[in-house]
Chains A and B, each alone.
Chain A
Amino acid sequence: MKGTLKVDGKNPEATIRSLFARWLKESKLSAVLAPAYSTAGTATVALVSDPEKLSEAAPLLPAMGVNSASIVAEIAREASPNAKVGLFLRPCELRAVVELMKLKQVAPESLLLIGVDCPGTYKAAGFRNVRGKDADFDNRHVREQSGYAENVNFRTACQMCEYPKPLVFDLNVGFVGMDPDKELWIEAATDKGKALLEGVELDAQDEPQKRKQALEKLSAARKARTAARIEELDKAMMGPEKLVEYFADCLNCHNCMKVCPVCYCRECFFDSDTFQRDIAEHVRVSLRKGATRMPSETLLFHLTRMNHMMASCVQCGICEDSCPVTIGLATLFKKVSQNAQKEFDYVSGRSLDEPLPLVTFRESEFLKIGEG
């Protein structure tokens, strides 16, 4: 089921809010998880259950402080028959939720995946200043971004993102290639999604050609930009010495791991006492080289994280935003995960049915690495 939804008062954000209100009132959803402004005007996320409180939700808020999949992992590890939570999420967040579902870290039964187009976001930190006093900022952003308008102030990862439209969703709200002051593009992909649309007045039609072209153009531009960024990265990082240098500023704070939506271990091995050595051993290692860098094992931490995450990484880049010493993690993880997933013909979060790369195999894979 797909078609256009009329927008009232040139306010797409309010139109989406009224959809939320309808679903909560009709008890189709018991709560909605969506972006929201704090009283101080900073970007955050809220779980809203009272239709009266919906003014708190700002579904089109263009800033990202966390990947909300992390929140989903926290609240929806197990299903509950009493809860039906609508996740109003960006494409990269939905993709992370899909990966977490495949990794059995999120139970799908109580959740509805409601996506929204996202051509890019600002960092949550400092976003208050970007927005200023503009109450219509979100709608203005959507208006600007409905055609392709590259914004160098977007988060690094966003500037390389080729998925402005969610890949897996029950229902999606689209504005790319549309005139968002007049209409939004609504698409239900599953029975759950179709049920939400019952009673909603849609002008049923095929996806407009203009929207398809706009999405394609955006993807193509982003792919080109990604290639250029990775080329730059290669110069800065390839080779063992350069790699060490790339991570040289690392404080070993592990923030990148803590905010990563698909880094799902209960306790990170690197936070455990496995790497704790007594002073005698530290001195012994130091004696071997004369001097050792402290804190130690930072490179091993990053390499291990890369190794563990490359198959499921959704390239949201939230790791880079959280790095206090601004190590270029977004481009690095983009490169590593993109290359690794290509080898397995896999795209993280593309489908719930595709098996995770490491739990399956094809008879003919990696022939060039095998014998002979």
Chain B
Amino acid sequence: MGQTKTSTPKVGAVLVVGGGIGGVQSALDLADSGYKVYLVDRAPAIGGIMAMLDKTFPTNDCSMCILSPKLVAAGRHKDIELMTLTEVLGVEGEPGAFKVRLKRHARSVDLSKCTGCGDCLTKCPVRDLPNEFEGGLSNRRAIYRLYAQAVPNAPTIDRAHCLKFQKDKCGACQKACKAGAIDYTQQDEEIVIDVGSVVVTAGSKVAPTSLRPEYGHGRYPNVVSSLEFERILSASGPYSGHVQRPSDGKAPKKVAWLQCVGSRDDSVERGYCSAMCCMYAVKEAVITREHSSEVEPTVFYMDMRSYGKDFDKYVDRAEQQYGVRLVRARVPEIREDPDTHNLTLRYASDAGSFTEEFDMVVLSCGFVPPPELVDLGKRLDFELNRYGFAATDAWAPTQTSRAGVSVAGSFSQPMAIPETVTGASGAAAAAEEILAAERGSMVKESSVPTENDVRGEAPRIGVFVCHCGINIGGVVRVPEVVEFARTLPHVVYAEENLYSCSGDTQDKIKDRIREHRLNRVVVASCSPRTHEPLFQSTVAEAGLNPHLFAMANIRDQCSWVHMKEPDKATAKAKDLVKMAAARALRLKALPKVKLPVTKAGLVVGGGIAGMTAALALAGEGFDAFLVERDKELGGNARDIPKTVEGDDVRKRLKDLADKVSAHPRIRTFFNTRIKAIDGFVGNYQTTLQSEGGGERKEESLKHGVVVVATGAQYRTPTEYGYGQSPSIVTQKELEEMLEEIKRPRDRAKPGQALDPLIPRSLDPSSVGSVVMIQCVGSRDEERPYCSRICCTEAVKNALAIKELNPDADVYVLYRDIRTYGMREEYYRQARQKGVVFIRYSPQTRPDVRIVDGKPVVAVNDPILGRAIELQPDILALSSGIVPQSGSEELAQMLKVPLNSDGFFLEAHMKLRPVDFATEGVFMAGLCHFPKFIDEATAQAQAAASRAATVLSRDTLEAEATVANVDPTRCSACHMCEGLCAYHAIEVKTINERTGKQAAVVNEALCKGCGACAANCRSLAIDICGFQAENIGREIAALLD
């Protein structure tokens, strides 16, 4: 991979196309690993669809709350250049050296001057334009910000509707802008950039509701799309989070969700399943109930596709705890009562035909690549599939047909956030493999001057009070606050700024620090969440330690919330400044702790995920140790002859293993187990124990990261008569049998015994009828999760049987068919070829008897409405996947958690799908959850990309705001150990002679969250920069 010979020198920069969560993840991974990134988006701000969502399943996290920090990080990153309102025109060249032509549309706002204060937004007289971000449910002006937390935060002028551009009058925004940022003269421009690789994360769009005109979206006001409904739920949405009907603003009581709009529908050429709609609909139903317990939500669905980690539990909770009604029915049409705008649904379910009236209907729209993205694909010159998604291969799921151009997210196929984030990291790894040698060649060196040592100096505090345009200055009397600040102890300088955050003010603050020999700085302005890092780097550039800075939030917590009370707001602003000054007085410079990094990764497990991760790490230029407890590589995939798409798994597996053994940077250990792992991110030391030739050997390795890729295992069924008849087999065994039949006789190896239970004399004509039972040992009380792959396995085998013998009767007894994504195509084929699918429920499980050594299956057919009996030649059980043996041991060694089902638990289900909460440890493949080869491969690449953000550094800089233990106070009660989510604090013997024990903080792992400090009864723990004493003095200052 990436070994293309090229005459032109390679470029250590990457173009990322599309600034949704996928693009942001790719950009951050790449920039954190030493590459310059151009992050391009057509929209005026990054954020994509995720920015529009209210909450996310299955954790019900607020979408914006978890996304926003990533957007801010991307916006602030020294090596990420945001290029919004920008389109890609074309890419020329070859991997390593592409020339990209871009068109940058005029924003009419100068990003270098705009501070995002928003003063202009209220002055624009054009106020009735439909707000596209809010699904047209509210209006915006001609100058607008895409959404409140937009990055960049600068507004955009919609020239098509701006009076200045249309009629050459107005100019109100320019007058309102005190920063002088409005620039009507900006022109669209074409630019060319050099990059070494391209990552496409352009996303997809919600399927247009026009695909189902009979649902009346656009005609009936109370029929909304799912994305519109997300905005209705959102506190920042058009109705400020009050769930109400667009027609009359009344709170709806009965709300219906209709699934598969623009999905699983060949009639509109959208045959695939959009993979996430079942879950988002159930989530929306749950959240609606959380808004009001009066609401009666109903979801009309075909199959409940809750195939992900903890998804089934979520759906169960929705039904049982939240009273969400799930009805298996496809609704053919909606009628509206023109007077009440209520909606009548007619549908047929197992229980009969019904007519039911609803107050509101939400259409669960699928995802499609819109024409502009199809067009983008053409401009970038890679292949698209028949639906217009980027065509990829299961074994290289992030690789487009064009070398050097990778793809991730829903532009390759519909996928939810975790898969998008995983793919995005994986695509970043693919880009890094091309540019391993160029790492670090184009990044900015941060030029921070030597720090002045201010110890022993009398405190000299400078206070800068911000007007924030009129945001603060319009309410708080800023000059009065400045005067007051001058009277505070040790304040030697105070001034007011129009915008403290603007570039010229930053320079001014630096000058003032030098002129007045300031050794503490207070800025009274907005939120430290968004602006503290900026001011900290400013004071650092003036030679002050960044922790000699304190901030007072006199905007969000003062002028904004006391808009109508200027006197009180001014008094409060003074108090806040007084408190900040009191804190500043006692601030101490905090040193930066640097820790070395061993540039090698340990990969545990040599299946597809482990091999891919090791190859990706090696491709990125790092050493990889691949540890396999078996005697050969391959893992579970060795037992899979073919994928449903028809890939020869064994051949691909051999290719992969050959690449691994040939790679000079990979060292593989067979018959080897992990005995012990010590250390922490960047600095692990692992003891391996190998067995071979009757000997036990131990070896110690040093490495900087760990990738857990230990896989999972097939479960051996205990039910439905398995083991009691040679005709009862697992799906895996059935697949082996079918392969055996297809294999030419002369190539069948004599003596290579299959499982003795399998009837070896099987020939195609004897396979007259096959029954398959799904969810055997999955989705039950003991294992309340879906094993994700079994439906597709069953469909694959059913198709293979039909291929061998088109007259064979194949029955699949299922609960929900979960052939999500493009796999739906094979489900459709199976039905077309006459495979019979019979649904059962947990209450009507099939019954298997054995008569004369052969299985007899009784099941209730819900369509016929009666019990039927089948006497198949073969009964195949789709037995699920269970966690790998030894997972608990490994989890304990790594101090990482397992979930209640026994799979490894990621740091965050949505946004950190391959990371553990413990830094430097990552996961890939089935150890995380059952998944397909393409998903495991993408996750393995992602783990390598995440690993590169650590391994690409020479040193790790520990956080300065870490916990600090006073050992003389510590009682060694171990409470802090149990509380620390990062395993960063541990009680140790600190004096061998006296045996004195005390808690010791590992600064590399500590995040400064303060859980330990808050719970330390002996008050032996403080957080640097947030000492209890300082906070006490700050409060005292307020009370004085």
Contact = CB atoms under 8 A, between A and B. Distances in A.
Given A104-B972, A264-B971, A372 B1019 contact: no
Contacts, number: 49
A284 B1040 contact: yes
Contacts of B856: none
B972 A372 contact: no
B1018 interface: yes
Given A78-B995, A104-B987, A267-B969, A359 B975 contact: yes
A265 interface: yes
Nearest to B1029: A274
Contact of B971 (A105, A288, A355, A359): A105
Interface residues of A, number: 20
Interface in A87-109: 103-105
Given A274-B1029, A288-B1040, A308 B971 contact: no
B1029 A104 contact: no
B973 A105 contact: yes
B978 A308 contact: no
Interface string B1014-1030: 01011100000000010
B678 interface: no
B978 A360 contact: yes
Contacts of B977: 359
A359 B977 CA distance: 8
Interface string B955-976: 0000000000000111111110
Contacts of B975: 103, 356, 358-359
B979 A358 contact: yes
A269 interface: yes
B971 A266 contact: yes
A272 B968 CA distance: 12
A134 B550 CA distance: 72
Give the one of B970, B971, B1029 with max A CB within 10 A.
Answer: B971
A103 B1015 CA distance: 13
Interface in A62-114: 78, 103-105
B639 interface: no
Nearest to A103: B973
Contacts of B1019: 269, 274
A105 B975 CA distance: 11
A356 B1017 CA distance: 14
B648 interface: no
Contact of B979 (A266, A284, A308, A359): A359
B1017 A265 contact: yes
Nearest to B970: A266
Contacts of A264: 971, 973, 1017
A104 B978 contact: no
A274 B1018 CA distance: 13
B160 interface: no
Contacts of A272: 969
B1039 interface: yes
Contact of A265 (B979, B1018, B1029, B1039): B1018
B973 A104 contact: yes
Contact of A372 (B290, B969, B995, B1018): B290
Contacts of A358: 975, 978-979, 1015
Nearest to B1011: A358
Given A265-B1017, A284-B1040, A288-B1040, A359 B978 contact: yes
Interface in B108-158: none
A355 B977 CA distance: 12
Contacts of B973: 103-105, 264
Contacts of B1029: 274
B969 A266 contact: yes
Interface string A292-330: 000000000000000010000000000000000000000
A80 to B, nearest CB: 12
Contacts of A308: 1017
Give the one of A104, A288, A372 with max B CB within 10 A.
Answer: A104
> Can you list the 3 inter-chain pairs with the closest CB atoms, starting with the nearest?
A359-B978, A265-B1018, A308-B1017
26 contacts: A78-B995, A103-B971, A103-B973, A103-B975, A104-B972, A104-B973, A105-B973, A264-B971, A264-B1017, A265-B969, A265-B1018, A266-B968, A266-B970, A266-B971, A266-B1018, A267-B1018, A274-B1019, A288-B1039, A308-B1017, A358-B979, A358-B1015, A359-B977, A359-B978, A359-B979, A360-B978, A372-B290
Given A78-B995, A274-B1029, 10 more contacts: A103-B971, A104-B973, A264-B973, A265-B1017, A265-B1018, A284-B1040, A356-B975, A358-B978, A359-B978, A360-B978
